[in-house]
Structure 1
Amino acid sequence: MRRRSHRGLAPAALCAGLALILTGCRTEGPVPPDAYGSGAEVATPRDRLNALNALDARVNAVGFRLSVANVELCPRTGPITGLLLHAESQYADYLRAAAREDWQLRGDLPGVAAVAPDSPAADAGLRVGDLLLSADGKPFLEGGPVGDAGFDGLSGNLARLADALYDGSAELLVQRDGQRLTVVLGSVTGCAYPFQLDPSADFYAKGDGERVFISSALAAFSPLDDDLAVVLGHELAHNILDHRAYFDEVGLARDVLGNWGVAPWELVRAEREADRVGLYLSARAGYDPARAGPYWRMLSARLPQLRMVQWGHPSAGERIQLLEGVAEEIAVLQAAGEPLIP
C-alpha cells in the first residue's frame, strides 16, 4: 500500500530532514500550475487530478520495484501490495468534486488510485477507480460528512487493511462500475518505506527515516523512470543507511535548526553515501545507472545553484563525477555476473 498527502496541502515537515534538493516549502492552498510539469494541461481541477494521478502512478511503480528488489538490504520490511489508495476526504475543496465524480470516491473509503505493474495488486485484477468496501468481511468506515481535507479517516482504513494482510493476503469486497465483486489481494515482502508524491512547485525529495517523499515538480521533471529511480533510490538509501536517526543523535538542536544544526561535512558525507548506495539500489531494481550523470546535468541546467557547493551538499559536478564512477563500477559487476552489493 501507499499513502498520499492531502491534495492541495504539502506538510511543513518537509522543510527539515535529509533533502536532495530544497528550494522552499509550501504549506497550504492550491499549488500553482508549474507543480504539474511544464507540459501538463491543468486548466481545470480535473486536469490537475489527471496530471497528479499520472505522476502518482509513476512514483508508485518505481517505488514498488525499488522496495521489492532491495528487501534484503532494508532494515525495515513488511508486506506490500503495489496499491496506491486515496479517499474523497483527503482532497481539498477545489479538487474534491472532480475526485468524487471521476473515481466514485465516498468519504473515507479507500479507492484505488494506482496499481504498480507486476505487483500483487495487479495480479488480483484491481483497477484504478475500484472502491474498497471491506477486507476479510470487516467493512471499511465511510465516516461522516466531509469537511476540511484530512487523512485520519483514510489512515484508519489503511490500518484495517494492513491488519487483514498480516497473514499475507486479504479477501476484498470491491465496488466497480456500480457492481460488487470479491478479489483476493496478496502481498510480497518489501522495504517498508512508503513512497509519497507531494503536490508542490518546489523541487525537492526527502527520506525522513519513515517514508520517501518527492515533489510533483521534481517527479514531472524526471522524464524517464530511470531518472525517477535515481532520485527515489537516493532517498531510499538515506533511510536504509539510517542517516536521519544518526543526525538526530549528533546534531546540535536539529529539532529547531534542521540541517543547519549538523556539521556540513557530515551532511556531505551522507549525501555521497546516499548517491553511491542509491545508484546500486536503482540498478538492483533493473533501472539504468548510466542515466545518473545525464540526469544531474539536466537538473543542474534547470537549477543553476546546484552547480555550486551548498550547505551540506556537494556541487552537481562532484556528484556527476561520483555517480558516473559508480555506474561504471556497477557495469563491470553486471558484465561479470556478480551480485550488486553496495
Structure 2
Amino acid sequence: MDRRQFLGSAALAATALPLSGMASATRASPARLLPMPLAKGDTVGLVSPSSATDDSLNLQLAREAMEALGFTVKTGAHYDARRGHLAGTDAQRAGDLNAMFADASVKAIVCTRGGSGAARLLPLLDYAVIRRNPKILLGYSDITALHCAIQARTGLVTFHGPIGSGSWNAFNVDQFKRVLLDRELLEYRNKSDIGDELVQRQNRTLTIRGGKARGELIGGNLTVLTALAGSPYLPDFSSKILFLEDVSEAPYRVDRMFSTLKLMGALDKVSGVIFGECTDCKPGDGYGSLTLEQILDDYITPLKIPAYRGAMIGHIREQFIVPVGGKVELDADAGTFRLLESVFRA
C-alpha cells in the first residue's frame, strides 16, 4: 500500500536508535487538555497533512460534506498541493496545520485523507500554539501520527474517525453529531444488522479476555503507531486502553508490529485492548501463516487484561469516532466501551 515504503524507512531509522531512545517513547504525557466545543455554523478547517488526492473531486466532496453538516469551510493554503505522493512539501503541510490551530476563527480541523507522510511533520508542528488553541482534530489511518504526537506533546484530546473525503453515510454522520456536536457520553456498541441471516455475522465482536477496565484511550493505526517507536512522539502507555486497526497488512507484518509493542514494553503497561478491523489482512500464498486470531492470542491473552476484537474502528465504511485521550470504561464481555466524562471544555 502507498504508505508502506515511507513507514518501512521510518521503522528502519527507529531501529538505529539506542535503547534509551526506546525508553523515551513511554515517558509521562502532559496533563490532559480538552478541546473547545463545536456548534453548527462554526468554521471548520480542511487540511491535507498526508498524501495528495488523485482526483480533485475528493476535495470538493470533503468541502460539501462539511457544509452539509452545517459548517463554514476554510481550506488550508496548500490542501490541494502535490509533491510526489504527498500533499505538498513538509513545510507546506505543517504550515497549514499550524495556521489552522492558530486561527481563532477555526473551531475544528478535519483531515481530507490519510495515506502516508504525516510523521514527517512531527518535528515541524508548533506544539505551543496547539496547546494554547485546543480544538478538534479529526482523521484516521496515517493521521494516527498526529494523534500520537499531539497527545504526547500537549495532552490534547483528538478524534480518530472519518476523513473529509471519506464516506459520510448515515452512521458516520450520526457519530459526528452525537460525539462532536451533542457531546454525548457515548457507549460504543457495534451496529446490529442481522440482515436475512439466522444469526448476526457482520459487525461481530469477540472477547479475547473478559472483564472491565478503565483508562484513557491511546492508539490508532497499528503500522503508523509502531513506526513512531523510539521517537519522542509516542505517548505513555501506562494504564491506557489501547485501540488498534490496520489495512492491507499480511499477518506476518502484524505479528512483527505486535512484537515491537511487546519489546518496547508498551503492551505490558496497558489496562485493556480494543482491536478494531484489520481490513484485507488475510494470509497470502506461500508456505503458511499465522492467523490474526493466533497473533492476538500470542500477544494479548498472556497480558491477562480485558480485551476484545471486532470494534467498528478502522478502514471500514461505517466507523466510530473515538476520542484519543478520552476516559472510557471497556467491557470486553459485552464488546463495548463507554465515555466516562466529557472530552470538551465546559
Same fold (TM over 0.5): no
Higher radius of gyration, 1 or 2: 1
TM-score (norm 1): 0.29
Higher strand share: 2
The structure, 1 or 2, with the larger RCO (C-alpha pairs under 8 Å, 6+ apart) is 2
Higher helix share: 1
